[in-house]
Structure 1
Amino acid sequence: MTSPRPDLHAGLGEARTGLTVLAAAVFAAVTTELLPVGLLAQISDAFEVSNGRAGLLVTAYAVMVAVLSVPLALATRRMPRKPLLLVTIGGYAVSNVVAALAPTFGVLAAGRVVGGITHALFFSVCIGYAARLVPPHLTGRAMALAAVGVSGGLVLGVPLSTAIGTAFGWRVAFASLAVLVTLVLVLALVVLPPVVATGDDHSAHRGRRRDLATVVVANGLTYLGTYVLYTYISVLLLDSGAGDRWVGPTLLLFGACGLVGLRVAAAQLDHRPRASAIAVPALMAVGIAAVAMAYPHLVPVVLTGMVWLAAFGPAASLYQSASIRTSASSPETAGAWINASSNAGIGGGAAIGAAVMDQSGLTSVAWTAAAIVASAAVLALLSRAAFPPRR
C-alpha cells in the first residue's frame, strides 16, 4: 500500500496568519537594512562626513551579515525559536532607536552594527520558523508568503521611509521605523505559535551537503549578477533619459513587478521546484540581456527591466525552499547559508559593477550581469540532485 501524495495545492490554513506576521518582520528588516541609502546625503551633511564614508553604513552592514550569519545560526541552534525570534526583532528596534538619537557618526555606526548582528541571525531564524509552521510539501509557498516582506520593503518600506526623512529629517525616519518594528514585535509575541527545532545538524543527511552547497552557490550567483546592474539602476535610468523625479516611481514599478512575479511563481516552487530553479534565473538573464540591447532608450529599458525584476521576485523563496529540501542541515542553518550568500552577492555585485562601468560603461555592466545570472540557470540544469523534480 502506498501513502497518499500530499495535495500541492492545499491552502496554508492556520499557518497563514503566522506567516503574515513573519512577512511583516521581514518588511521591517529589509527597510532597516536599506534605509540609509535614501538618506546618505542628509546623514553626511549632519555629521560632516563624505558620502563615501556615510555609505559604509550600508556596506559594513552587508559584510557583517555575510560573515556572521552561519556562525550565529550554529551558536544559537539549541535555543528556543520564538524567544530568539523576538530578540532579533527587538534588535532592529534598538538599532533604529540608537540611529535616531545618535549624537555622533560613531554612535550611528554602532547602531548599525547592532542592526547588522541582528540581521545576520534574524533571517536564519525566520526562514526556519516559516518552514516549521507548515508541512514539508508546502515549504515553497510558506517561503513565498514570508518573502513578500522582502519585495514590500523594497517597494514601500524604503521609499516611504526616505520620503519621511526628506520631509521631516533623517532622525524622524529612523524613529518611525523603530515604532513600526515595535508593533511587529508585539504582533509576533501575541500571534506566533512556538515551534520546536531539533537543535542538532548531526541528524541531517550528510550525503546531501554537496546539494546544499550547490543551492547556496546558485543563490550567490543570482544575487551577484543581479546587483552588478541593480546597484546602478538609477544611473541606468538617468542615462536612458529619465528625469530625476521619475526614478523613484520607476523603482516602485519595478518593485511591484517583483511582487507580481512572486505571486505567479509561488505555487510552482513546490509543484515544479526543478523547473522553477531553471526558469527563474534563465528569465532573469534574458531580461537583463534585453536591457543591455535596449539601452540607452528609456521605454525599452523600463519594459525589459520589468521582465528582469518580475523574474527576480521569487528568487529568494526559490533558493530558501530548495536549501531546506536538501535536508543537509536544519532549516535555520540552511537559511543562514542563503542569507550569507545573498549578502555576499549584493556586496560583490556592487564592486564588480563599479569596476566594469569604469572600464567599459553600462552596456558591459548589463551583459556581465546577464552572464553571471545565466550561470545560475546552467548550474540548476546540471545539478539534478540539488534541484530535483517533485516526486
Structure 2
Amino acid sequence: MPVAPAWSPGTVRDATGGIVALTVATFLAVTTEMLPVGLLPAIGREVGVSDSITGLLVTVYAFMVAVLAVPLTVSTSRLPRKGLLVSTLIAYTLSNVVVALAPNFAVLAAGRAFGGIAHAVFFSVSIGYAARLVQPSHTGRALAVVTAGASAGFVLGVPLSTSLGTALGWRAAFGVLAAVCALTVLVVALLLPAVPGGGTAHLGDGAGARRMRLAVVSTTNAVVYLGQFTVYTFVSVLLLAAGLPAAGVGPVLLGIGAVGMLGTWFAAVTLDRRPRAAVVALLTAVTAGLIAVGIAFPALAGVLVAAALWGAGFGGVASVFQTAAIRSRGASPEVTGALINATANIGIGGGAAIGAAVLAGPGLGWLPFAGAALVLVGLVTVLGARASFPPRP
C-alpha cells in the first residue's frame, strides 16, 4: 500500500480540504449528539417514559464521552489519525441505526451509549487534527472554522432533523442521520490528508505551570457546558410551555442556531488577536441571555428574543475553550482535545441531569436561572485566570 507524503502544516487556506472534511464531520457529530433534544417529548411518548427520563438519553451519551475520552485517546495515540477518525464516523452511523430501530427505551439508551463511545474518540482526535493541519499562528482560526461545523449542527442539523421527526416521526430523523453519516465517511476519506499519530508530549521546563493552565481551562469548560445544558437539554419543553406550537420548535431552534453563527464568526476574527476579550464577551452574552429567558418566561415573544442573545453567545464558546486549551501547551494536541471533549461532556451530561432534577423539583421556570448561575461561575473564573486566558495569543 503506497505511503502518503507527510503533511506540511501551513495556513488555513493551504489546509482547506482537510478543514472542510473536519467541519462536515463535526456537523454530523454534533447533530448525532444533540438530536434527541428537539424530539424528547415525541420519543418519551412512544417509549412510555417522562420528559425527565428521556433527557437521560443525552446524559448517557455524554457520560460515555466524559469517562472514556482520555483513556481511549491515550490508548489509540499510535494509530493512524485518519483511519481512527473514519472509524468513529462508521460507529456514529451504526449508533443512529440502532436508535432508529430500537424496540424499547433500553435498546435506545444502548444505541446512544455506543454513539458516546465514538464521540469520546472523535472530538479528541479532531481537535488535535485541526491543530496539526496548520501552523501555530493559525490555530485559532482553524479551530473556529472546524467548530463552525458544530454550530451548523445546531443551526441546520438539529432543527431540520427535529422538523423531519415532527413530520415523519423521530425514528425517520435518526434513519436519515444514519444515511448522511455513511456519506460523510466517503467525504472524509477523500478530502482529509493523513497526519502523524498523536503520541505523547514532552513538556520540558515549566510543565507544571502549563498543566495548571490546561486544568483551569478544562474545568471552566465543564462548568460553562454544565450551565448551558441544564437549559438546552430541555429547550423544546421550555418553548412548548411558553406557547410555541410543536411544529414551530424546529424553526425556532434553527433561528437560535443561526444567531449562534454570529458567535462563531466573532470567535474566528478575534481568537488570533484578542482571545481573552473573546471569551469574556461570549460568556457575558450567554449569562445575560439565560437570565433574560428566565425573566421573560412564559411570555413567548420575550423568551425568543432572549434566546437569540443566549444562542449568539454560545455559538463561539467551543472555539474559545479549544483554542485556549491548545495554546496552554499542557499536553499533546490529542490529549488536550480529549480533556476538552471529556469536560464538555461532563457538562452536557451533568447539565441534563441537573435540568431533569430542576424540572422534577422547583419547575421549568427555574431552569434558565440555574443555568445562568453556572455560566456566571465560569465567567468569574475566566476573569481571575489571566494566565490560562491571556489577552494575546
Same fold (TM over 0.5): yes
| Structure 1 position 216, deviation (Å) | 0.7
Q: Secondary structure at the match of 1:13?
A: coil
Alignment-derived partner of residue 157 in structure 2 = 157
| 307-316 vs 290-299, which moves further | 290-299
Q: Does residue 328 of structure 1 match 2:327?
A: no
- Mapped to 2, the partners of 1:231 and 1:171 lie a distance apart of 19
Q: Matches of 1:42 and 1:358 in 2, distance apart?
A: 19
Match of residue 229 from structure 1: 231
Query: CA distance change for structure 1 residues 193 and 154 in 2, over 3 Å: closer, same or farther?
Result: same
Provide closer, same or farther for how the CA distance between residues 293 and 55 of structure 1 changes in structure 2, counting only shifts above 3 A. closer
Q: What secondary structure is seen at the aligned counterpart in 2 of 1:271? A: coil
Provide the residue aligned with 1:349 in structure 2.
Answer: 351
Deviation for aligned residue 1:341: 1.2
Aligned-residue offset at 1:136: 0.9
Task: Give matches, 1:80-229, under 5 Å.
Answer: 80-102=80-102, 107-203=107-203, 205-229=207-231
The equivalent residue for 2:304 is 302
Number of aligned residues: 381
Q: Any idea what SS the aligned residue of 2:147 has? A: helix
* Counterpart residue identity of residue 387, structure 1: F
- The offset of 1:168, in angstroms, is 4.2
Whether 2:378 is the aligned partner of 1:379: answer no
Q: Does 1:35 align with 2:35?
A: yes
1:279/1:41 CA distance change after superposition, 3 Å = closer
Change (3 A) 1:374 1:183: same
Aligned-residue offset at 1:110: 3.8
Q: Which moved more, 1:164-173 or 1:181-190?
A: 164-173
Identity between Structure 1 and Structure 2 (%): 50
Partner SS state of residue 271, structure 2 = helix
**CA–CA distance in structure 1, aligned partners of residues 365 and 314 of structure 2:** 20
The match for 2:369 among 352, 367, 371 is 367
* 1:113, distance to aligned residue in structure 2 (A): 3.0
Q: CA deviation at 1:64?
A: 0.8
Per the TM alignment, residue 96 of structure 1 is displaced from its structure 2 partner at its CA by 2.4
Compare 236-245 and 374-383 and name the one that shifted more.
Answer: 236-245
Q: Measure, in 2, the Cα distance between the counterparts of 1:302 and 1:251.
A: 10
Rate the CA distance shift 1:129–1:44 in 2: closer, same or farther, 3 A.
same
SS at match of 2:13: coil
Contact 1:209–1:328, Cα closer than 8 Å, also in 2? yes
> TM-score, with normalisation over the residues of structure 1?
0.88
Distance apart, 1:227 and its partner CA? 1.8
Provide, for residues 335-355 of structure 1, a one-character-per-residue CA deviation record: whole Å limited to 9, x for no partner. Answer: 111111111112222332343
Q: Over aligned residues, Cα RMSD in angstroms?
A: 2.5
Q: 1:366 to 1:269 in 2, by over 3 A?
A: same
Pair 1:290 & 2:292 matched: yes
Shift of 1:357: 4.6
Structure 2 match to 1:20: 20
Instruction: Please say if residues 40 and 51 of structure 1, whose CA atoms lie closer than 8 Å, have aligned partners that are also in contact.
Output: no
User: Where in structure 2 are there 5+ consecutive unaligned residues?
Assistant: 1-9
Contact 1:279/1:377, CA 8 A, preserved across alignment: no
Give the gaps of 5 or more residues in structure 1: 1-9
1:50 matched residue in structure 2:
49
Note the C-alpha offset of 1:192.
0.9
Contact 2:128–2:334 (CA under 8 A) maintained in structure 1: yes
What TM-score comes out, normalization by structure 2 length? 0.88
The answer (yes or no) to whether the contact 2:58–2:233 under 8 Å persists in 1 is no
Question: What is the CA–CA distance in structure 1 between the aligned matches of 2:108 and 2:355, rounded to whole Å?
Answer: 28
Offset, 1:175: 3.0
Provide closer, same or farther for how the CA distance between residues 235 and 108 of structure 1 changes in structure 2, counting only shifts above 3 A.
Answer: closer
Tell me the alpha carbon deviations over residues 197-230 of structure 1, each in whole angstroms, 9 at most, x when there is no partner. Answer: 4501344634311111100111111111112222
Matches within 5 A, 1:59-78: 59-78=59-78
Q: What secondary structure does 2:117 align onto?
A: helix
Partner of 1:66: helix, strand, or coil?
Answer: helix
The one-letter amino acid of 2:60's match is A
